[in-house]
Amino acid sequence: DTEVTQTPKHLVMGMTNKKSLKCEQHMGHRAMYWYKQKAKKPPELMFVYSYEKLSINESVPSRFSPECPNSSLLNLHLHALQPEDSALYLCASSPGTGGNIQYFGAGTRLSVL
Amino acid sequence: GESVGLHLPTLSVQEGDNSIINCAYSNSASDYFIWYKQESGKGPQFIIDIRSNMDKRQGQRVTVLLNKTVKHLSLQIAATQPGDSAVYFCALMADSSYKLIFGSGTRLLVRP
């Protein structure tokens, strides 16, 4: 099973709202990732968690706040987003060490009004 | 730094023909390469990977070739089918890194 599950599939929010994206994997992977993908563009890395600790933050604005409650779950908390933050947000996971396949979820399609 | 480029943004092939998708990279420190397929409305799906100590790797109907001398990677799909229609991304990382750098993508269209 190489499944990464993301919820919700679609999300519409206003610029003053607070919402959260959720990601779950049960492959025993110890690294989890958030990517942002704009239309017709490749995914861009936002955050990396390794063994439940934040190891990479690609200079992401503070209105995006990641959280890794345990080794199977990854959240992305959203607050005061801008319309340009509208995108597909992808979660991925991989075994603990680098140089391994990253398995992606189907993503959350976010629209900020 | 690392950068990844693709030679063609869109590739149109006849069903049953072979497809070749190319990818160039600039950083010789990159030592792990992955091809992903992304269908509309879905996340990237792993197809095949190759490490820098190999030149070729084969999977089911797919072959990845790596030429480290010219920093070039290709994905060959044999007997292309309508279900192969998607955007294909090459991605690379340094073996000890978690950071995956994606190419800009090639859209593969399969004509019936």
pLDDT digits (tens, 9 = 90+) for B37-66: 999 989 999 999 999 999 999 999 999 999
The distance of B96 to chain A (nearest Cα, Å) reads: 5
How confident is the model at residue B1, as a pLDDT?
Answer: 39
Q: Which residues of B touch A (CB under 8 A)?
A: 31-32, 34, 36, 41-46, 49, 51, 89, 93-100, 102-105
Query: A90 touching B, CB under 8 A?
Result: yes
Contact A99 B96 (CB under 8 A): yes
Residue B19: Cβ within 10 Å count: 21
How confident is the model at residue B2, as a pLDDT?
Answer: 44
Closest to A42 (Cβ–Cβ): which among B94, B97, B103?
B103
How far is B36 from A42, CA to CA, in rounded Å?
11
Largest CA distance in chain A: 39
Query: What parts of chain A have a pLDDT lower than 50?
Result: none
pLDDT digits (tens, 9 = 90+) for A15-26: 999 999 999 999
